[in-house]
Each structure stands twice: as structure tokens, then as C-alpha cells.
Amino acid sequence: MLTDALGRRFYYLRLSITDVCNFRCTYCLPDGYQGKPNESFLTLPEIRQTITAFADLGTEKIRITGGEPSLRKDLPDIIAAAAQTKGIRTLAMTSNGYKLPKRIDGWVEAGLNQLNVSIDSLDPRQFASITGHDRLQEILTGLDRAAELGIKVKVNAVLMRGLNDQLSEFLGWLKHTPVTLRFIEVMETGDHSDFFKKHHMSGQSVKQQLLNEGWQPVLRAKSDGPAEEFWHPDYQGRIGLIMPYSKDFCASCNRLRVSSLGKLHLCLFSDHGLDIRPWMAAERDPAELQEKLVSLLQHKAPSHLLHEGKSGGTQNLSIIGG
């Protein structure tokens, strides 16, 4: 089992398969992807080896992320490899929803059973101005199809003061839409300190508004992640709040991250990733990778240092996938 020095257990791996993205979200890649076009991202055999090693150490949930994971042509093979690994019970993915209606059937056929799609605004013009793409309707159509196929669907919206802080549109939508909408506080990253200072708003104000309007906290299981969830008898959807700046956020940390270049990130806001790529090679014994993971995990810090204005070495979240 993957356990750190503080006794936190890690059964959830977020695996980035590419840094490349075709969107230009204002808080992430406002100028679009600027990396090297020929960067050599993890190969399918390396991915398979890594997932097997994690699963043997008790990992039950894998989230495929990026950049934009759907830009990889071999995505269905990656989904299938992860879904077929012994011990993996949940195979999730986070996507910007690009061409979702065309692609979702293939992903579900390959074994995807949970999809998170990022939708920062339900106003088409605002959505286009945040992401650089006028594709809201297409994404919503894809979400409906995902729900029809019976997989669990969640929507991520980054809370931004002055940009999308009108909750009424989201609430109206949730009345009739059975999804969980998760508001994520915008996090400070190396590239976007100024954006953060201008637009960060605390999820606590949203929480207060929800409680005032009769939303009730969902009881949390011990193994739940950091989102605080709320339900309301008049609404089909639920709301989750992810508030990394709140007290004790890191106490329930249950996830590890591997970047698309084969670096283990013990925290989203570590100073740097730890290179495990040599151990990911398919020719090596997976037990060697397991040993490496167990020993590196002992260095996991108790908490991030965001409160002190230290956002670590992560320049933007497209590099390790949020």
C-alpha cells in the first residue's frame, strides 16, 4: 500500500498523458500551448507499466488528464489499458470536451466510467472568451450523451471574481441536470500570479450563499477527496466546492500525480517533479518502480505552502493536469 510518513493513504493516481492543449483558458494557457512540438510524452507501454505498478500498490482509481488528453490519437488504447488493469475500479478522465459528442461513445466502449468536463460559464459568449473556443453547445450535447451512456459525469468550473461569479445561471441549470458541478477556487501558479490576485475568490462565500438557500452538506466518507459537496431537494444536480486555501485541505490528500514526461509530483505545488521515467520502461521489473514509489513517497510534505504565496515550481496546471 502507498502510505506516506503521516499515514495518508494513496489509492488515486492522476496521470497526465500530454501537456498539449488546444484551448486557451485565461487562467491556464492564455496564449495557447507554447511547448516544444516534439516533446516525447509517455508511451503506451510506459503507461501500462506505471498503472500496473500503482495498481499493485493499492491504487484503485486512475484519472487521465493533460493538457488535453483527447488530443492523443491513442487515447482509446490508453483508456483500455488502464481499465483492464487488475485492481483499477474507476477509470476517470478530465477533458475540455472538445468534439465530445463524436468521441464519447468510443471512450466508454474502451472502458471509461467517469468523465469530468470543464465548463467555466454557461453563457456561450463568456465561455468563448474564457477558453478561446465557441463550443459550449457542442460540449453540453456531449455531456448529455455521456449521461445517456450511463457513466458518472461531473463538471468543473473555476471560480473567478468578476468573470463568472454569477451563480444563478449554474443553479438554474442544476435544477434539471443530474450532474455534480464542482467549483474550484482559482489557484496561483508561476505564470499567473497577477491573474490570481485579480480574480481569486474564496469558495467560502459560495458555501454561505448555498447554505442560505437551503443546500445541505453531503456527509463525507473517510476516503472522500477534498471537495465539500452539497445537495438540495429541489435540484437534480449537486454542487462541490474545492477550496485549496481552506484549513486542513491537505489532511485528506489521497492522490499522487505523474506528469506526461514521467515525473512523480507528490503535490500539485511541489517545487519539482521526481523523475521516475527510467523505471517506467516496459522491459524493467515493475517491482523496481514500486520500490522507487514507496521510497519517494516518504518525502511528501504535510501541506502545500500556497498561504505563504509559494506555489512551487508548477508554471501552469496544463503541465500536470490539475
Q: Computed over its alpha carbons, how large is the radius of gyration of the chain?
A: 19
Give the interface segment with ligand SAM, choosing from 78-86, 288-296, 297-305, 313-321 (CB under 6 A): 313-321
Name which of residues 244 to 283 contact ligand SF4 (CB under 6 A): none
Strands 255-258 and 263-265: antiparallel
C-alpha cell at 312: 512551487
Least distance CB 23 / ligand SAM (angstroms): 7
Residues 6 or more apart in contact with residue 51 via CB below 8 angstroms: 13, 15, 59, 62, 81, 82, 85, 88
Give the interface segment with ligand SAM, choosing from 55-63, 133-141, 179-187, 251-259 (CB under 6 A): 179-187
Least distance CB 17 / ligand SAM (angstroms): 10
From candidates 13, 28, 241, 243, binder to ligand SF4 by CB under 6 A: 28
Q: How far apart are CA 214 and CA 211, in angstroms?
A: 5
Q: How far apart are CA 127 and CA 163, in angstroms?
A: 10
From candidates 27, 33, 127, 269, binder to ligand SAM by CB under 6 A: 27
Q: Which does 319 bind (CB under 5 to 8 A by kind): ligand SAM, ligand SF4, none?
A: none
Phi, psi of 71 (to 5 degrees): -80, -10
Q: How far apart are CA 316 and CA 30, in angstroms?
A: 10
From candidates 158, 253, 256, 276, binder to ligand SAM by CB under 6 A: 158
Q: Does 23 bind ligand SF4 (CB under 6 A)?
A: yes
Interface contacts to ligand SAM, rule CB under 6 A:
21, 27-28, 65-66, 68, 94-96, 118, 156, 158, 184, 186-187, 189, 317-318, 321-322
